[in-house]
Structure 1
């Protein structure tokens, strides 16, 4: 075993599930797990560039992702390959579940973006959420998802958003 291998962070497979199917699976480095919140660092796992118009995710981008076992969202800090902060992409999810080397997160379609300067805060995919039928099939989860989006938006617009990540 080399000296450097002792310095490596443990790996964790992140599995993002949507509508009962695996949307994406990728491996990241587990930075912390305090029993409630986990932090994972991973390279952009998408293929090629994803241009949202207000931000581009591209090869070389690094995501530091925060997941909670007791909250209905995940926050992903996005940095370019040079380390420049692009902003935070927030997924509304069911609370994360870790089982050994795997972290499973169920995406509930709602998202929030906050730019690095905090001036651009936008709710995303509310139409997809409405079309998902969650309000009919699981009204309690739908209410929790909308409450989580409202909470994140409030924090992103003027609350102590970055305190969530400290």
Structure 2
């Protein structure tokens, strides 16, 4: 089979310096911000699932009720889907390494998924700034004849 080879600009990032936990995505993809906004809206809409569930610091429910467990499972599945959607890759298992995305972490007491997104956003913003600096000139070059 022949191969079509070209630069996709994927970059590799280790999670917290652990070389066995590496994710790959294109931080210069301008649509990553669109996907992040869409995911944030869906996550906000679903946070209501957790209003009746009391959590321990590790993200597990205080109550062992079936309803609490089901709400956590649904939220976890939704976070998996949305995190993978934002990065356009299957990064969830590598990022969270078996932990609940609802673990409370850090001095700011963020959910684990929030801490990850806060750490990833500067990398993405840097990539988008590079796209804006270099990419817009190229887009204009090819579209100026069509714009009035």
Structure whose residues are more often strand by fraction: 1
Structure whose residues are more often helix by fraction: 2
TM-score, normalised with respect to structure 2: 0.29
Larger Rg, first or second structure (1 or 2) = 2
TM-score, normalised with respect to structure 1: 0.27
Relative contact order (C-alpha < 8 Å, sep 6+): which is higher?
Answer: 2
